[in-house]
Each structure stands twice: as structure tokens, then as C-alpha cells.
């Protein structure tokens, strides 16, 4: 019962088995989130995002995300780590292929189309999944195009280039945000209260949850920003990072940090409520189990191939 989400399982049988265990055999009976990088298709593959963006065809882009949601939800996946809405001007950054390019206007339109495609009109439908706007923020401006690197941009660039696609995703109702590996003006995004609390949750009224990027909480130590694992967990939670992906530092340290008065229990309550809210909206408390026959009917159909 200490696990809230499981990532990268591509087995309907295994997903059903894990969900049944979580719902029936853990203390609180809370269903799991199953997440995966469903970036440009699950079974039926669409062009990579930068190629889709080059079409300027927003309707086709939305349908592409809709098809990916249909197939992955049938397979038991209920959360995708997409769309990546980072604007980047440096082709050396290897992840340019995962975004919409260098223009914030087009990037904003595509962010909206992708969120609507993945999440549909009713998130509790069997054929929709929660989307995740990533990486908040400025990951695409890493110096030298190097992953995890320093980002140093002015307010004008931040508000006019970096933020617009994220704001568009939020306005479209995206349920989750992922913070980024990079530091922004000296502060790692995972521990950046300005980004996660002041801008996202207060200024933009985002009511979903923020997930860390893979192990990005512990990587604040490598940035030289935190002293140790406990310090990293404290800074990340206080800054507004609600879910810890992969570092295990919340599991290992948050209880002690609350006992020591370094983390307010109200902030943990807020993080938990945000995550539970998305699970409720996905319909997982009413219908947590995947139909193992559905994936056969839905994935790789002629209709999907035509699209």
C-alpha cells in the first residue's frame, strides 16, 4: 500500500494483477495509476511530435492523441507523460523531436490539441487517459543543448517563450504537470517554489498534481542545491512537487520531516488530495480494472491504421 503509481508496464495481465492487489489487499484499497510515455501512439504509431507539428494540422494532431489514449487505456494505461510542450531553439538538444518546435504560438495550439485528444470530454471514460504537460519549466533552453544542464533566461523569455504552451495546457484542463531536470536561474525546477507554487498553483489555479521527473528530487544533490536525501525531499515537497517519481525519497524521509517540523502536514494533505482527485476523475474508484479482451478489439485496427 506504499505505492501510488506504477510506470512502464506493457502487460494487460500484469496491470490487472497489480490493480487487484492494490484495491483488495492494501490497507486503504486505493487504486494505482499506471503511467507510460505514450508520446506518439501506443500500438499504432503516429509521426513523432516534431513531424506532427510540421503539418500544422491541429485536428489530425488531436485525433492522433485520441487514438493513443484509446489504445493505451484499453491496455490498462491511465496516464501518459505527454504532451512535452517545451519550446527549444537549439537543435543540439536531443529532445526537440518530442516537442512542437521553436514557436510558442504553434506550441500552445498543439498543447491544447494534445490535452483534449488524450483526456477527451469525460476523463472517466474507458477510452481517455490523464495527460501530463512537461517539463516545467525551460528544459528546452538547457545550455549547449545538454540534458539536465543550467538554464539562465530573463523574465521576457520565460513569460513570452517558455510559459505560453504550459499555460495553454493548463487552460485546456491538463490533469498533471511534470517538473524538469534543469535548474532555472540557479534553482532546480524540482525545488523551485516560484514555478510550482507561485506561478502554477496560485497564479494559474492549477488543481491537478505535479510529478517529479525521473529521480529529479535526488538529482538536486548533484546540482549542488541540496545537502543530502532528506534535505532534497524537504525542499521538493515544500516547493510544490506532489509526487516523487523513482527517487523513493518521499517514502524514506517525509514522515521524519513532518515529525521534525520541517514539512507542514497540510502540504502533504494538499499533495495527497491532488493525486486522489485525479484518480477519482479517472473513474478508478468506480471501475479500477482493465478488460483483458478490450485491448484485442481496440489496438491496431484498420481504422487506426487509416488515421
Query: What is the pLDDT, as a whole number, of residue 5?
Result: 95
pLDDT along the chain (307 residues), means of 10: 92 95 96 97 96 97 97 96 97 94 98 98 93 98 92 96 98 98 96 98 98 97 97 98 96 98 98 98 95 89 93
The predicted-structure confidence for 295-305, as pLDDT tens digits, reads as follows: 889 999 999 99
Q: What pLDDT does 115 receive?
A: 98
This prediction's pTM: 0.97
pLDDT at 27: 95
Which residues have a catalytic role annotated?
Answer: 213
**3-class SS string, the chain:** CCCCEEECCCCHHHHHHHHHHHHHHCCCCCCCEEEECCCCECCCECCCHHHHHHHCCHHHHHHHHHHHHHHHHHCCCCEECCCECCCCCCCCCHHHHHCCCCCHHHHHHHHHHHHHHHHCCCCCCCCCCECEEEEECCHHHCHHHCCCCEECCCHHHHHHHHHHHHHHHHHCCCCEEEECCCEECCEEHHHCHHHHHHHHHHHCCCCCEEECCCCCCCHHHHCCCCCCHHHHHHHHHHHCCCECCCCCHHHHHHHHHHHCCCCCHHHHHHHHHHHHHHHHHCCCCCCCCCCCCHHHHHCCCHHHHHC
Looking at residue 148, what is its pLDDT? 87
pLDDT for 126: 84
Amino acid at each position: 500500500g506504499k505505492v501510488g503509481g506504477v510506470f512502464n508496464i506493457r502487460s494487460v495481465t500484469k496491470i490487472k494483477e497489480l490493480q487487484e492487489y492494490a484495491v483488495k489487499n492494501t490497507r486503504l484499497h486505493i487504486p494505482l495509476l499506471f503511467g507510460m510515455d505514450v508520446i506518439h501512439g501506443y500500438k499504432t504509431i503516429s509521426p513523432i511530435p516534431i513531424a506532427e507539428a510540421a503539418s500544422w494540422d491541429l485536428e489530425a494532431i488531436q485525433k492522433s492523441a485520441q487514438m493513443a489514449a484509446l489504445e493505451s487505456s484499453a491496455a490498462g494505461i491511465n496516464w501518459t507523460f505527454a504532451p512535452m510542450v517545451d519550446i527549444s531553439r537549439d537543435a543540439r538538444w536531443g529532445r526537440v523531436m518530442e516537442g512542437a518546435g521553436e514557436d510558442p504560438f504553434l506550441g500552445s495550439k498543439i498543447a491544447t490539441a494534445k490535452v483534449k485528444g488524450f483526456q477527451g470530454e469525460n476523463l472517466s471514460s474507458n477510452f481517455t487517459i490523464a495527460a501530463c504537460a512537461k517539463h516545467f519549466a525551460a528544459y528546452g533552453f538547457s545550455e549547449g543543448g545538454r540534458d539536465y544542464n543550467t538554464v539562465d533566461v530573463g523574465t521576457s523569455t520565460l513569460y513570452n517563450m517558455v510559459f505560453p504552451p504550459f499555460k495553454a495546457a493548463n487552460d485546456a484542463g491538463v490533469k498533471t504537470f511534470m517538473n524538469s531536470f534543469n535548474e532555472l536561474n540557479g534553482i532546480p525546477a524540482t525545488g523551485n517554489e516560484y514555478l510550482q507554487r507561485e506561478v502554477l498553483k496560485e497564479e494559474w489555479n492549477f488543481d491537478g498534481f505535479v510529478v517529479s521527473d525521473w529521480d529529479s528530487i535526488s538529482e538536486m544533490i548533484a546540482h549542488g542545491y541540496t545537502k543530502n536525501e532528506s534535505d532534497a525531499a524537504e525542499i521538493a515537497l515544500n516547493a510544490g512537487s506532489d509526487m516523487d517519481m523513482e527517487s523513493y525519497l518521499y517514502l524514506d524521509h517525509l514522515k521524519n520531516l513532518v515529525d521534525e517540523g520541517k514539512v507542514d502536514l497540510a502540504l502533504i494533505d494538499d499533495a495527497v488530495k491532488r493525486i486522489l482527485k485525479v484518480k477519482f476523475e479517472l473513474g478508478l474508484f468506480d471501475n479500477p480494472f482493465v478488460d483483458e479482451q478490450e485491448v484485442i478489439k481496440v489496438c491496431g485496427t484498420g481504422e487506426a491504421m487509416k488515421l
